[in-house]
């Protein structure tokens, strides 16, 4: 039987949040907060704490919570890379397979990460290794080089925007870069914050990243050996 707090289950709160998110066009996290408050709780975390106290948590839930805390304590920017790589795999399930007949694999996609418009950019560099970059909270309309011509126009081929970094705060919240291994294993190279380049983080965004939920990797590991 599913656990309840004051007659409410987690699935019920999530269904309410889904409706709120759709109607108000807000992030999933914000919708959960509102749904929880509408049903008499201080917030989503408060509801979860009460839910856990209402019975013995299952082994699966405990493992998930432990993974969340471990990941957040190491580096939330790695979590952002995991979310971005998951989005690539949704569109190309064979992305982590090396195709020796295909050279210079590169591209970008516009996606929503944690409720915000973002860009995921990748480029194969050598031995099947992938350079992976995430531009989180990206607003293309405010990019000063969005509509220029020639080499000055943003082409999403670099790990960071073409504009002067002084302009970043106008159109992007976080720019982070890392490497994905595919030949000896399937994982994001490094551990914790090691070998992840935080190329830009707007004031206040780190605190937002710290609040984001743990992202379960889809067919790869979040950490592994870094090849120099």
Q: Output the pLDDT for position 74.
A: 64
In the chain, which residues have pLDDT < 70? 1-2, 54-74, 100-104, 228
Q: Output the pLDDT for position 67.
A: 58
Q: Output the pLDDT for position 2.
A: 60
- Please state, in angstroms and rounded to a whole number, the distance separating the CA atoms of residues 76 and 169: 19
- Look up tokens 């959960």; give the residue: 32
- Shortest CA distance to 119 belongs to which of 176, 170, 194? 176
Q: Output the pLDDT for position 104.
A: 60
Q: Output the pLDDT for position 4.
A: 75
DSSP 190: B
> The tokens of 150 are what?
């020639």
Pairing of strands 116-126, 174-181: unpaired
- Please state, in angstroms and rounded to a whole number, the distance separating the CA atoms of residues 203 and 196: 19
Distances in Å between the Cα of 16 and the Cα atoms of 25, 29, 145, 201, 203 are 14, 12, 40, 32, 32
List strand residue ranges (DSSP E) for 27-99, in order: none
Q: pTM value?
A: 0.68
- Please state, in angstroms and rounded to a whole number, the distance separating the CA atoms of residues 22 and 180: 34
Asked if 79 and 217 touch (Cβ cutoff 8 Å), the reply is: no
CA of residue 40 relative to chain centroid, distance: 30
DSSP 222: S
Torsion of CA 113, 219, 79, 12, to 10 degrees: 60
Q: Output the pLDDT for position 73.
A: 45
Q: Which residue(s) pair with 48 in the sheet?
A: none
CA angle 113, 118, 121 (to 5 degrees): 110
Q: Output the pLDDT for position 75.
A: 86
Q: Which residue(s) pair with 116 in the sheet?
A: 113
CA end-to-end span of the chain, whole Å? Answer: 51
- Shortest CA distance to 211 belongs to which of 24, 27, 39, 49? 27
> The tokens of 12 are what?
């019920």
């Amino acid at each position: 039987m599913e656990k309840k707090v004051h007659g409410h289950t987690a699935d019920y709160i999530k269904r309410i949040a889904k409706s709120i998110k759709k109607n108000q066009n807000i992030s999933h996290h914000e919708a959960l907060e509102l749904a929880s408050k509408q049903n008499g709780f201080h917030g989503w975390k408060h509801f979860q704490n009460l839910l856990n106290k209402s019975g013995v948590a299952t082994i699966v839930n405990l493992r998930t919570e432990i993974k969340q805390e471990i990941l957040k304590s190491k580096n939330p920017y790695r979590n952002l890379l995991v979310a971005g790589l998951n989005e690539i795999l949704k569109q190309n399930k064979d992305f982590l397979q090396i195709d020796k007949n295909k050279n210079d694999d590169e591209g970008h996609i516009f996606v929503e990460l944690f409720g915000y418009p973002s860009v995921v950019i990748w480029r194969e560099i050598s031995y099947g290794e992938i350079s992976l970059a995430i531009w989180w909270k990206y607003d293309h309309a405010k990019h000063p080089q969005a509509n220029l011509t020639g080499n000055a126009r943003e082409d999403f081929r670099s790990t960071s925007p073409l504009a002067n970094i002084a302009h970043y705060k106008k159109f992007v919240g976080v720019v982070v870069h890392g490497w994905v291994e595919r030949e000896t294993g399937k994982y994001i190279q490094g551990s914790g914050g090691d070998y992840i380049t935080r190329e830009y983080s707007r004031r206040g965004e780190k605190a937002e990243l710290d609040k984001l939920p743990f992202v379960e990797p889809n067919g790869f590991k979040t950490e592994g050996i870094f090849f120099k």
